[in-house]
Chain A
Amino acid sequence: MTRSLSKTISGWGCYPTAKSILIRPELMRDVNIPKQGSLICRGQGRSYGDAAISSQGQVMLSERLNRFLAFDDSTGILTAEAGATLAEILETFVPRGWFPAVTPGTQYVSIGGAIAADVHGKNHHHAGTLGVHVTELELMLADGHRQRCSPEKNESLFWATLGGMGLTGIITEASFRLIPIETAAIMAEHNPASDLEVTFKWLEDTDYDDQYTVAWIDCASARRHFGRSIVMKGHHARRDELPDDWKDPFFVPPLCSKSIPFNFPSFVLNRFTMAVFNERYYRHQGRKKGSFITDYASFFYPLDALAHWNRLYGRRGFLQYQVAIPDPYAHEGIRRLLEHLINSRQGAFLAVLKRFGSANAGLLSFPVAGYTLALDLPMTGKKVLNLLQQLDELVIKYGGRVYLAKDACLSPESLRAMYPRLEEWQRIKQVVDPERRFQSDLSRRLQLAGTL
């Protein structure tokens, strides 16, 4: 007996929304593919746009399918149902000295969602995406049967599923590697870079690099300080790096208790408040001189400290725009994007720049060797949509791409110009899901599986 619930849902950016039919299996045996109509899986709904919503079909919530099934403490390989979240993994394994090999900027993601988007972290230039630490997946295909795949077995299905945005099947189980840590703390360092040149220079300089490195850019600051940033780096602290008074080396910081209770009025976040915020943040973070010890949650998940922080942007929501620009055009491309953004006078609240290591074999996987820039932009209707369209053109010009897990407004044509392996992916999609059982608003908007 599976009941459904009709509800208006959205991604994390609160735009766009869709009246969707939700189903929620409690047990693995209740997972099945509807005989009619389409289906898309939804983990924690932390993708920003329309990847995990569907206005024309069912949306299956994986939140109750979250059992840990096996853990091998000689290899660190964990097998879990795909609804298990990173937060649960951290809570269980950090005290035992293990950490996810790759983590995005929030711990409230499901393993299935993280694999479907092939997420990256601050260590992509050293460790690659989460997907490359996956040793095996179990997938429920459109015909309802379960198929295992890995980089060795049914590889094409495996590489179509990493970054495949839930469109090849439902990931039911995944096995992936955790890495050993000596302590739960992070040894971090913040270095203020005076402009974009310096920022690039430091991101390529091993002295300013560490296991995890990212630059937070003050994009409210035009002209003189153009592209000034705080280059933040850190690594899992070794036992001997902890101060003597650090009580528990494997302390798991408690989950957030503060929450934004309702949508803020939209005037709260505007160009001026953003400029003030950016200025303050730059000064505050830049003041932390030298290296310092911090807990892993403040380092990796600063935004998780405030539940429902997306409501700060008000009812209309906001857009995340994340692009990757490959070397050797990355510097020029990123510079042009930032210039265009600043000239448009539509402030971005947050801008993060980071270096990407090489791409993996995932056909729709986002990262490519070069740089990635992520921006948060309030949804202001036409104005911002036009801006993003202009940015898309620049991205295409520099051979780059937009991240599908955050996208809400790309066009099918732009997508085709950005993802050269799309056709290869479509051929596999056609084999495993000929009737296009798996669809989301994202897949229909971008005609990911091809035109109908």
Chain B
Amino acid sequence: MRGAVLILGATSAIARGTAVALARRGHPLYLGGRDEAELARIAADLIIRYQIKVHWGTVDAGNYAAHGLFLEQAVETMGGLEGVVLAFGYLGDTVAARTEFEEVKKIMAINLIGAVSLLNECANYLENKRSGFIIGLSSVAGDRGRQSNYYYGAAKGGLSIFLQGLRNRLFVSRVQVLTVKLGFVDTGMTFGLPRLFWVALPYTVGERIIIALEQRQDRVYVPWFWRYIMFIICAIPEFLFKRLKL
């Protein structure tokens, strides 16, 4: 029997894609998110389709004080965890953020502080167990700041660096940390956005992520070609880059 996996932000489309990839492989799942009704629906669906054990509990990325207890609950319910998928994120409104600091705080609180707070708890737990994995869903937006989404990018960039440090720290404990850098995925976040190209489906993305995990990779771009796009974007010298409308 496969080990149980905790999915944080389980109501997002990419989380669902990842949950399916794990469920297909027989992992029991614990779903964490804010919306009880939706969590219950997604859990029921996974139970019926894949005949695995699924439980769920509510967690809010911004309620840091509750994170420790939440993890304890998940561990207890599942009788231990093998891994964690951190899938929540908040794109936010870049234009509003320029003038409304509340929006900036929200972007940072969810994408960075909330993520770090939850992953702290998970890292300590897995480090103790000396096995398991952490998958952090970051974004190509975190690879280089661009005027169109630099608040979100800054938070995700911070998350990427955090995951890198975690990977370094947990290496000796044989805990694998996988950083996923997502490009455009066909979710509510991107639906209807102009000028998107080659948008990946959440199920394809979920499958790619779990394959990267099985291949013991440290970092993966999904869809893969974003690796080359970001390589080029990151290679543009700043004196040129700052003139671009990106």
Q: Which residues of A contact B (CB under 8 A)?
A: 1-5, 22, 24-30, 64, 67-71, 81, 92
B48 on the interface (CB 8 Å rule)? Answer: yes
Which among B38, B48, B191, B193 is the interface contact of A27 at CB below 8 angstroms? B38
The 6 closest A-B pairs by CB, nearest first: A3-B192, A67-B45, A5-B192, A68-B48, A26-B188, A67-B41
Q: Does B75 contact A (CB under 8 A)?
A: no
Give the residues in chain A near B44, CB-CB below 8 Å.
Answer: 67-70
Q: Assess the B187–A26 pair: CB atoms within 8 A.
A: yes
Q: Is B240 interfacial (CB-CB < 8 Å)?
A: no
Whether B188 pairs with A69 at a CB distance below 8 angstroms is no
CB-CB nearest in chain B for A64? B13
Chain A residues positioned under 8 Å from B191 (CB to CB): 3, 5, 24
Whole-angstrom distance from the CB of B162 to the nearest CB of chain A?
A: 26
Q: How far is the CB of B23 from chain A (nearest CB, A)?
A: 12
List 20 other contacts, CB 8 Å, given A3-B193, A67-B41. A3-B188, A3-B191, A3-B192, A4-B192, A25-B188, A26-B12, A26-B187, A26-B188, A27-B11, A27-B35, A28-B38, A29-B37, A29-B38, A30-B188, A68-B44, A68-B45, A69-B41, A69-B45, A70-B44, A71-B48
B42 on the A face (CB < 8 A):
yes
| Docked-complex contact B187 and A28, CB < 8 angstroms | no
Which B residues touch A22, using CB under 8 A?
192
Question: Which size bracket describes the interface of B in this complex?
Answer: 10 to 19
Helix, strand, loop or mixed for chain A's interface?
mixed
Within 8 A of A (CB), among B18-60: 35, 37-38, 41-42, 44-45, 48-49
Chain B, residues 197-235, CB within 8 Å of chain A (1/0): the string is 000000000000000000000000000000000000000
Q: Which residues of B contact A28 (CB under 8 A)?
A: 37-38, 41
Question: Smallest Cβ distance from A7 to chain B, in angstroms?
Answer: 9
CA gap between A402 and B103 in the complex, in Å: 54
Inter-chain contacts of A67 with B (CB < 8 A): 41-42, 44-45
- By the criterion CB–CB under 8 Å, are B37 and A68 in contact? no
Chosen A-B contacts, 8 in total, with CB atoms closer than 8 Å, are A1-B188, A2-B188, A27-B11, A29-B37, A67-B41, A67-B42, A68-B44, A81-B41
- A26–B192 contact, CB under 8 A? no
Of all chain A residues, which has the CB nearest B187? A26
Most buried by B among A2, A5, A68: A68
How far is B45's CA from A71's CA once the two chains are assembled, in angstroms?
10
Closest-CB distance, A20 to chain B (whole angstroms): 12
B167 to chain A, nearest CB (A): 31
A290 and B31 CA atoms in complex are apart in Å by 53
Separation of A67 and B192 alpha carbons in the complex (Å): 23
Please name all residues of chain B whose beta carbon is closer than 8 Å to the beta carbon of A81 when the two chains form the complex: 41
Q: Give the docked Cα–Cα distance between A25 and B188 (Å).
A: 7
What are the residues of chain A within 8 A of B37 when measuring CB–CB? 28-29
Residues of B within 8 A of A71 (CB): 48
Q: CB-CB < 8 A to A25: which residues of B?
A: 188
Query: Which residue in chain B gives the minimum CB-CB distance to A25?
Result: B188
The distance in angstroms between the C-alpha atoms of A1 and B42, with both chains bound, is 20
Q: How far is the CB of B218 from chain A (nearest CB, A)?
A: 30
Cα–Cα distance between A385 and B42 once the two chains are bound (Å): 46
Are A92 and B35 in contact, with the CB atoms below 8 A?
Answer: no
What are the residues of chain A within 8 A of B38 when measuring CB–CB? Answer: 27-29
Q: Which residue of A lies closest to B42 (CB)?
A: A67
Query: Which residues in B have their C-beta under 8 angstroms from that of A69?
Result: 41, 44-45, 48
